[in-house]
Amino acid sequence: MGDRDRWVDRGVISFEQAERLGGDAPPDKPGGPRTVEILGYVGAIALFIATIAGIIKVMVPEDPLFAFISGDLDTMQGGLVALAGAIVIFGTGYRFADRSGAVRRASGFLMLVGYGLATIAFSLLLFDLDIGDFTPIVVLIPSAIVAVVGWQRLRSVPTQLALFAVAVSALQAILVLIQVEEMLRATDFFISRALGGANDLGSWISHAASVALGLAWIWLARAGTIGPRNAGFLIGAVYAWVFSLALFGSADGWIALTAVLVLAYLWAAGQWGASMLAAVGSVGVIILIVQVMSLVYEEPGTTEFILWFGIPGALAAAGFWLFPDRGATAPPTTTIPDSQPVM
């Protein structure tokens, strides 16, 4: 990995800035890096849709509803089709992951889509596995290996998303194993929905554990264990915040957790120089005002919205006018050297 790639990985510069360090790139010729990048995106999405259609064709008979109810699904054939699609898409991304720039970004996306198909494939191939509460963990292992291999090959936003998906699935599998949550097969979920039923999407313990996972992801990004850094901040911050809102939906007292999270994001944004945390924290402040209003008023009117948003908005704007230059430093006089291989 060159110096520029390391700067991008740590969130010092964006990938577009890294490319501009070598001078303005000429317009992309047919078959150039940008063309290859676009072909990678289109190819991955089109092959994913075609693979899903192939899974449905070989797995579901003429009467889909009866098949779901009776369990008459050829999951083995469907899993093999999904696995074939995963090998083609993931393998293509893996093959060209050592390239730079646009080709590198497309490779990460290809591996993310391939991981998604691999997850579907192993879920179908191991569908009939019945080892009690250990089933979710065992089913997760093969697709988790795919995600880890992809992330080790190329540390990018798409491969980090795949890795985070593994972490989420692992957390849910552990909650099933310790009997905090119940194991629910996909067919059970769809049958319940088709018959007008509702499924419990998790207890407060599950939501609290998800908040903890999001915060842990932020810390791993801060420590440099995972990268890119800004992607880790955004993924972890949004995930923890969303589940704090889910907790607030179950009990009003959880608003304290949301408030603490928002304040922590804003503090960390200033201390760590993390604009992603500042963005999530700023949105969190707006939603927090709405949460407080929902506790104070049954049906707030326009006057309440003017006061509750106008006063803090005016104070924030006044602060923007008063302190734009405080703490500013002079721009550096040195230039960043061209990328050299790191030995």
Which of 118, 115, 139 shows the shortest CA–CA distance to 128?
139
**Of 75-79, 127-131, 215-219, which range is least confident?**
127-131
Residue 72 has pLDDT above 70, yes or no: no
* Gyration radius of the chain's alpha carbons: 24
The more confident residue out of 216 and 130 is: 216
Give the H/E segment covering residue 123.
Answer: helix 101-125
**Of 69-78, 175-184, 206-215, 332-341, which range is least confident?**
332-341
Residue 185: partners with Cβ closer than 8 Å, 6 or more residues away: 127
pLDDT (tens digit per residue) in 265-283 = 999 998 988 889 999 999 9
The more confident residue out of 192 and 222 is: 222
What's the average model confidence in pLDDT over 27-46? Answer: 83
User: Model pTM greater than 0.85?
Assistant: no
Question: What's the pLDDT at 279?
Answer: 93
Q: In the predicted model, what is the mean pLDDT of the chain? A: 82
Question: What's the pLDDT at 297?
Answer: 87
Most confidently modeled range among 1-10, 64-73, 96-105: 96-105
Give the H/E segment covering residue 9.
Answer: helix 3-9
CB atoms within 10 A of CB 236: 26
Residue 100 has pLDDT above 90, yes or no: no
Residue 201 has pLDDT above 60, yes or no: no
Question: What's the pLDDT at 165?
Answer: 94
Question: What's the pLDDT at 191?
Answer: 43
**Of 69-83, 208-222, 246-260, which range is least confident?**
69-83
Question: What's the pLDDT at 340?
Answer: 40
Question: What's the pLDDT at 119?
Answer: 94
Which of 104, 101, 85, 217 shows the shortest CA–CA distance to 150?
104
Which of 107, 43, 117, 50 shows the shortest CA–CA distance to 83?
117
What's the average model confidence in pLDDT over 320-331? Answer: 67
Residue 203 has pLDDT above 60, yes or no: yes
The more confident residue out of 12 and 323 is: 323
Question: What's the pLDDT at 101?
Answer: 80
Which conformational region is residue 256 in: left (phi greater than 0), alpha (psi within -120 to 50 degrees), or beta? alpha
207 close to 246: Cβ distance less than 8 angstroms: yes
pLDDT (tens digit per residue) in 140-199 = 999 999 999 999 999 999 999 999 999 999 999 998 888 777 766 554 544 444 444 444
341 bridge partner residues = 2
What's the average model confidence in pLDDT over 216-237? Answer: 92
Query: Residue for token digits 């963990």?
Result: 137
204 band by pLDDT with thresholds 50, 70 and 90 = confident
Q: For the chain, give every domain's residue range.
A: 31-200, 201-322
